[in-house]
Amino acid sequence: MTFFPEPVGVSFDDVSMSVALDDGRTITVPLAWYPRLSGADRTLLEAYELSPGGIHWDALDEDLAVEGMMAARVIFAPEARRAA
pLDDT tens readout for residues 32-65? 999 999 999 999 999 999 999 999 999 999 999 9
pLDDT tens readout for residues 10-32? 999 999 999 999 999 999 999 99
DSSP per-residue letters across 30-72:
EGGG-HHHHTS-HHHHT--EEETTEEEETTTTEEEEHHHHHTT
What is the pLDDT at residue 16?
A: 95
Q: What is the pTM of this model?
A: 0.81
Residue 77 reports pLDDT greater than 90: no
The total number of residues shown for the chain amounts to: 84
What is the pLDDT at residue 34?
A: 93
